[in-house]
Amino acid sequence: MPKGYVVLTEAVKDPEGMGAYSAASAPSLGRGGASVLSVDARPTILEGQWHGDRTVVLEFESVEAAQAWYDSEEYQAAVPLRHAAADTNAVILEGFEMPARPS
């Protein structure tokens, strides 16, 4: 089963508010089985334009696990803090598994 990834791009308008969101959401990450792969304030843009000034990449065991974390009461309680502190885009992506090569 492919992994699930949550990618958030955030245009932070209230750093203290984002701190409150981070503190409120952190416990849900552990309980949801997330691995934080990246929190980057300066992504290298190769083409086009990128939204925001911070990008977060989370890894889950599956798309279903990512969706369950996002929909959880615990995480949803933190979401209004993020909405108040940043303009955010968020997506769930299905990981890619390379097909087996013939022997």
- Structural domains counted in the chain: 1
* Assessment of whether the complete model's pTM goes beyond 0.75: yes
pLDDT at residue 101, as a whole number: 86
User: Does residue 56 lie in a domain region?
Assistant: yes
Pairing of strands 54-60, 4-12: antiparallel
User: Does residue 103 lie in a domain region?
Assistant: no
Q: Is 91 exposed, middle or buried (0-12, 13-18, 19+ CB in 10 A)?
A: exposed
Q: Strand, helix or coil at 100?
A: coil
- State the CATH number of the domain containing residue 11: 3.30.70.100
pLDDT at residue 42, as a whole number: 84
User: Does residue 99 lie in a domain region?
Assistant: no
User: Does residue 75 lie in a domain region?
Assistant: yes
pLDDT at residue 98, as a whole number: 84
The answer to whether residues 60 and 33 touch, using CB atoms and an 8 Å cutoff, is yes
* CA neighbours closer than 13 Å in the CB half-sphere of residue 63: 8
Please give the torsion angle defined by the CA atoms of residues 81, 9, 56 and 79, in that order, rounded to the nearest 10 degrees: 20
Q: What is the pLDDT of residues 26-50, one digit of tens each?
A: 999 999 999 999 998 888 999 999 9
User: Does residue 48 lie in a domain region?
Assistant: yes
Find the domain containing 67 and state its range.
4-94
Grade residue 103 by pLDDT with cuts at 50, 70 and 90: confident
User: Does residue 68 lie in a domain region?
Assistant: yes
User: Does residue 79 lie in a domain region?
Assistant: yes
User: Does residue 35 lie in a domain region?
Assistant: yes
Q: What is the pLDDT of residues 53-89, one digit of tens each?
A: 999 999 999 999 999 999 999 999 999 999 999 999 9
